Amino acid sequence: MENLKQIAHNVYFTLKDNSPEAQQNLISACRKYLTDHPGTVYFGVGILTDELNRPVNDRDFHVALHVVFDSLESQNAYQVAERHLQFIEENKENWEKVRVFDSTVGS
């Protein structure tokens, strides 16, 4: 049997309004719209960690989203899911920059 690969979908948001309230609003929206999609293995969202400020740390973001899917098919379905598209529409106005890092993980 073929060993299926999981897909890690990591998104780093740099906000125009990066106040604590704006960061919390985006985190709440992530939890509302981006949780419990079919094939989700892991979901996590949070803010930049001030204590982790080593030279190798990329600190050019305010909110980080991490979703791991059980397959490429699940990740592809998530991309066009109504809740995902609604999340983008309702929140994109405050995004200065969005960087997406997708990778295959697992064995």
Give the global pTM. Answer: 0.92
Model confidence pLDDT, tens digit, residues 3-31: 569 999 999 999 999 999 999 999 999 99
Model confidence pLDDT, tens digit, residues 90-101: 999 999 999 999
Where do the structural domains in the chain lie, given as residue ranges?
7-105
Q: How far apart are CA 41 and CA 69, in angstroms?
A: 5
Largest CA distance in the chain: 49
Q: What is the pLDDT of residue 4?
A: 65
The fold adopted by the segment(s) 7-105 is: Alpha-Beta Plaits (3.30.70)
Amino acid 8 reads A
Helices (H), 1-107: 20-33, 72-79, 82-91
Please give the full DSSP string across 39-52, using - where no structure is assigned.
TEEEEEEEE--TT-
Q: How far apart are CA 46 and CA 24, in angstroms?
A: 9
Secondary structure of 94-107 in the HEC alphabet?
HEEEEEEEEEEECC
